[in-house]
Amino acid sequence: MPTHRIAWMMRLKPGNEALYKQRHDEIWPEMLAEMQAGGIRTFSIYRHGLDLFAYMERTNPPDPADKPSATAWRWWEMMAPLMDTHPDFSPVQYPLEEMFHFSPRSIAED
């Protein structure tokens, strides 16, 4: 089964680094269940200063027609004071282009 890798950047507002980390340490179980049900295999967020780098692997590509769930909207609303967001509370995301990838299993698949 192919893996779809997606990466993007986001930005925290100054002074919110610890609270952002705490909220993710305490992420809602229903949020994790939705991510797993949506085909997300792995999802990581890294921080450098106020910049956030998010990386996701999923079993299917994201469908632009899919709307975020009520749980996702509640999460975004809770996180909005901590980071750059759009007026609807969705995070401002800067998509990143993959320039290189290495995986020993990808060699075996070719």
User: Residues with catalytic annotation?
Assistant: 24
**Quick check: 59 and 3 in contact, CB under 8 A?**
yes
In terms of Cβ atoms closer than 10 Å to its own Cβ (0-12, 13-18, 19+), residue 57 is middle
String of b and e for 77-91 (b: at least 16 CB within 10 Å)?
A: eebbebbebeeebeb
In terms of Cβ atoms closer than 10 Å to its own Cβ (0-12, 13-18, 19+), residue 93 is middle
